[in-house]
Structure 1
Amino acid sequence: MRAVLLTGFGGPERLVYREDVPDPSAGAGEVRVRVGAAGMNNTDIWTRQGAYGSAEDPSSITGWRREPPRFPRIQGADVAGRIDQVGQGVPGARIGERVLIDPMLYQGGERDLVTTDYLGSERDGGFAELVTVPAELAHPVHSPLSDAELATFPTAYTTALRMLGRAGLAEGETVLVTGASGGVGSALVQLATARGARVVAVAGAGKHEPVRELGAEAVVDRAAPDLPAALAEALEGRQVEVVADVVAGPSFPALLGVLAPLGRYVVAGGIAGPLVQADLRTVYLRQLQLIGSSFGTHADFAGLLAYLEAGELRPLLAGSFPLRELAAAQEEFERKNFFGKLVVLPGEG
């Protein structure tokens, strides 16, 4: 089959397009999916770069579990397609079924999510013509959306659902969302709005109106020279119960500063810099909660499917690339000059 192999840590040059990769076969309890589309995520970039560090050395080169993944590896967690082969114990009637794949490969409870295998990291993923997964993770999907549109949802939206769930965002509360034009950020805006929350967002210039169209009541420019003042003006005296952050970096103190007493800060990314400084007196005197979150549970994925079946989410497909251009696609992803999600179409070579 055609596939792109990540051959080691480094730049886009470590992504090698090949047309002679052996076809995978569905094992017992598994299905094989012919990939219609596979979405891209920050995790793909950070895994290639080895950008996760370790508790002892933040600059060390590691995978997301803070250990090296096994190379070569086929990346691509967010997969939409059709089942074309089933393994032992899986009904043959599933062949031909259109599916969306839950990329979290854990079994057990919520605690197991922290050490889970992740499709495209610990197991070969969807930047290929074929991928195999446990049958229970390939969910039937009935939707008028294209495979490319469906592939924009899994990781970003389950990550956002878990963030909002861990922060306990309730109807009528105000949430501040950073990185609101990206995959997880735009998912947070849509999902928080669906929960009946009031959304104030932070986004780059030129992307404010699309964020408002998703439900944000106000949008602050991420490059504002005085971010605390810009946030205060946008909030118009309101207090923020929840900050949902995927950016971190130098803005971290300002984000803590807008939280109401007993407010909750939840973080699932650090694209502006994972190492931050803050005055812990702000945390304990205002009795704030700092909450870490990553990926989403199987229950979150079921929640995503329910939203999709109800037609309550808008796909934000910013662009697509043929498989052989994955390296160029990742370079475009890193430039962030788009709104929403980029996907790869293996059927286009």
Structure 2
Amino acid sequence: MSTRTEDQALTGLKATGQAALPEVMAAALLTGHGGLEKLEYRTDVPVPVPGVGEVLIEVAAAGINNTDINTRIGWYSKAVDSGTNAGGADGFEKITDADAAWSGEALTFPRIQGADAAGRIVAVGPGVPGERIGERVLVRNMLRTYVGYRPYECWTFGSECDGGFAQFAVAPSGETYAVNSDWSDADLAAIPCAYSTAENMLHRAGVGAERVLITGASGGVGLAAVQLAKRRGATVTAVCSAVKAGQVLAEGADRAIDRGTDLVAELGRNSFDVVIDIVGGSQAGQLLDLLRAGGRYAIAGAISGPLAQIDLRTIYLKELSLLGCTFQEDRVFENLISYIEANEIHPVVSKTYPLADIAQAQEDFLSKKHTGKLVLLPPAATSANPANTNKTEI
């Protein structure tokens, strides 16, 4: 296939058989690190062009995650020592831009965030079969294509590259997965970040039919971990607020403990095989006390704060394994697609919002009054027939 200019590629993007694609789209732009005022909803953003090996997705729904807020406020900067909520609405007075994104690299702005994206492929770039157009898809949120599949390296969709808070998004074809499911778009969009984070922690910790404690169990990742741990045969104790305990138990937890409880006094030392921690903060030392000798502690978040005091003797005398979980092996997301198609899991979506209401949605997310996920819905961009078989390649 001959090389085309961007103008030629844009011309090629204007048709997908029955419906024309617009040249501009609605999108929520992050204009810099800071408070909610850094989110700008616009309707004149150019539709992205898929490059070699990429696809163009019309986004139907995009979930909200802690990482979206953490990136906006620069929480990943080592200058920050408090939890996400401390700067969630207004940002922090002092951060270091160079390490304010999760990868430790400075972001470029404006950036379209959104680690979760569910939709349909409407166009393909060079090297991608035209037969992919029309597929209903999910994008893997931890992208390896752009870093050459090097171990322990990845980009987050919506952080190191533009993501799903828009009518259209570009993603690598090899990391855009067709999914055969009758779930709603909002349900599918609740999966990528939360469920892959949870599945990765369980995968790394090798969880089976064991005693598992899960913190933050009413949130997106925590509730996903409850479902996925039960799928593996685990006996699950969930830590969450008392008002949300009923919902968490309904999703499969065997026991729910109020998050303000003295966990060691209530549950006893050496009473768990695995701890799945999303909360971090001052309770980390207690969580290690809960583990039996040879137990495993997996962490992939610290919404209560990144700093913790632990007794190193607990780690080496009890032969504990501490697992930091960010990078994901390919099989993690592939597992999720298979679970969806087999109806072995199902997310809880508490509320949906128009994309234009992203600031309100993030405020509601920070209030932690919901259980499970909040999801944004971009306005429909085309009237394309999902079953259309007329293929357009770039």
- For the aligned pair, the TM-score class normalised by the smaller chain equals over 0.9
- Counterpart Cα distance in 1 of 2:379 and 2:80: 39
TM-score (norm 1): 0.93
> Per-residue CA shift, 1:229-280, capped at 9, x if unaligned?
2233xxxx88201000000112111111110011111100000111000111
- Counterpart Cα distance in 1 of 2:250 and 2:335: 23
Letter in 2 for 1:253: G
Partner of 2:65: 41
- Counterpart Cα distance in 2 of 1:140 and 1:228: 45
Partner of 1:228: 264
Partner of 1:261: 293
Relative to structure 1, the CA distance from residue 5 to residue 95 in structure 2 (aligned partners, 3 Å threshold; closer, same or farther) is same
Partner of 2:30: 6
Partner of 1:202: 239
Relative to structure 1, the CA distance from residue 83 to residue 348 in structure 2 (aligned partners, 3 Å threshold; closer, same or farther) is closer
Matched, 1:175 2:212: yes
Relative to structure 1, the CA distance from residue 108 to residue 162 in structure 2 (aligned partners, 3 Å threshold; closer, same or farther) is farther
Matched, 1:118 2:118: no
Partner of 2:199: 161
Relative to structure 1, the CA distance from residue 163 to residue 58 in structure 2 (aligned partners, 3 Å threshold; closer, same or farther) is same
Q: Pairwise mapping of residues 19-168 of structure 1 onto structure 2 (< 5 A)?
A: 19-54=43-78, 57=79, 60-61=95-96, 62-107=100-145, 112=150, 114-168=152-206
Shift of 1:125: 0.6
Partner of 1:338: 370
Flag the structure with larger Rg. Answer: 2
Instruction: Return 5+ residue gaps in structure 1 as ranges.
Output: none
Partner of 1:190: 227
User: Is this contact kept in 2: 1:250–1:276, CA < 8 A?
Assistant: yes
User: Is this contact kept in 1: 2:227–2:251, CA < 8 A?
Assistant: yes
User: Is this contact kept in 1: 2:146–2:154, CA < 8 A?
Assistant: no
- Counterpart Cα distance in 2 of 1:290 and 1:277: 14
- Counterpart pick for 2:359 among 327, 334, 338: 327
Instruction: Return 5+ residue gaps in structure 2 as ranges.
Output: 1-24, 82-94, 382-394
Q: Secondary structure at the match of 1:21?
A: strand
Q: Secondary structure at the match of 2:334?
A: helix
Letter in 1 for 2:106: P
> Per-residue CA shift, 1:159-189, capped at 9, x if unaligned?
1111111111122x10100000011111111
User: Is this contact kept in 1: 2:146–2:155, CA < 8 A?
Assistant: no
Q: Secondary structure at the match of 2:223?
A: helix
Letter in 1 for 2:263: L
Relative to structure 1, the CA distance from residue 120 to residue 289 in structure 2 (aligned partners, 3 Å threshold; closer, same or farther) is same
User: Is this contact kept in 1: 2:145–2:172, CA < 8 A?
Assistant: no
Aligned length: 341
User: Is this contact kept in 2: 1:322–1:348, CA < 8 A?
Assistant: no
Off by >6 Å, runs of 4+ in structure 1: 108-111
Q: Secondary structure at the match of 1:112?
A: coil
Letter in 2 for 1:209: G
User: Is this contact kept in 1: 2:121–2:133, CA < 8 A?
Assistant: yes
- Counterpart Cα distance in 2 of 1:28 and 1:187: 34
- Counterpart Cα distance in 2 of 1:191 and 1:216: 11
Larger CA deviation: 196-205 vs 113-122: 113-122
Relative to structure 1, the CA distance from residue 295 to residue 209 in structure 2 (aligned partners, 3 Å threshold; closer, same or farther) is farther
Shift of 1:137: 1.5
Partner of 1:216: 253
- Counterpart Cα distance in 1 of 2:169 and 2:175: 12
Relative to structure 1, the CA distance from residue 154 to residue 123 in structure 2 (aligned partners, 3 Å threshold; closer, same or farther) is same
- Counterpart Cα distance in 1 of 2:247 and 2:207: 23
User: Is this contact kept in 2: 1:73–1:120, CA < 8 A?
Assistant: yes
User: Is this contact kept in 1: 2:167–2:380, CA < 8 A?
Assistant: no
- Counterpart Cα distance in 1 of 2:71 and 2:109: 11
- Counterpart Cα distance in 2 of 1:275 and 1:341: 26
Shift of 1:297: 2.9
Q: Secondary structure at the match of 2:295?
A: strand
**Identity rate of aligned residues, in percent?**
50
> Per-residue CA shift, 1:91-135, capped at 9, x if unaligned?
222211111111222149998363311110011111000001111
- Counterpart Cα distance in 2 of 1:248 and 1:20: 40
Matched, 1:302 2:328: no
- Counterpart Cα distance in 2 of 1:40 and 1:115: 23
Larger CA deviation: 289-298 vs 93-102: 289-298
Structure 1 vs Structure 2 CA RMSD = 1.9
User: Is this contact kept in 2: 1:37–1:151, CA < 8 A?
Assistant: yes
User: Is this contact kept in 2: 1:157–1:304, CA < 8 A?
Assistant: yes
